[in-house]
Amino acid sequence: MKIWNGYGSEHSMNLVMIGRFKNEEDAVKTKEIIERLTEKVRSDEGAGRIKIGAQTDRYASGMLDLLGKMNISVIGPSEVEQFAYEFKIRSTDKQLIITTEEIDVSALLKVLVSEGARVEVFSAHDHPDSEYGRGK
């Protein structure tokens, strides 16, 4: 019997991002922006306007307009697909807590920072005692 030990480049990050805002309204607004972008990207993927994993230098139809309406100018076409990745977002008072297994989170980080958040990012693997870790 042969025992196979395999190692891949995929690694569960167990990443936690905490965006702290000056007020609850800013946190709510930012959550809505992320949800609208997520909805648009998933819709674009379902309609075949974008293909996750394909490098692109162009926005899908309507995405640039949506970004403009929300005054988000820092997300590039190749980052947009990150809103199709799995993540959970929840709000508590003046902060947003985002948890994900992904490492490509620049688009989320850019939205948080552009909306005025002070952001903390860490792996719950390395900080399991954190109140924001998985299952909390």
Rounded-to-integer distance, Cα 107 and Cα 76, Å:
8
Question: In the chain, what are the helix, strand and coil shares in percent, each to the nearest 5?
Answer: 30, 20, 50
DSSP states of 109-121: HHHHHHTT-EEEE
7-31 per-position pLDDT tens digit: 444 557 899 999 999 999 999 999 9
User: Hey, where are the domains in the chain?
Assistant: 15-123
pLDDT per position as a tens digit, 46-98:
999 999 999 889 999 999 999 999 999 999 999 999 999 999 999 999 999 99
What is d(CA 45, CA 42) in angstroms, rounded to the nearest whole number?
5
pLDDT tens digit string along 96-112?
Answer: 999 999 999 999 999 99
Specify the pairing of strand 15-20 against strand 87-92: unpaired
The count of other CB atoms within 10 Å of the CB of residue 56 is 13
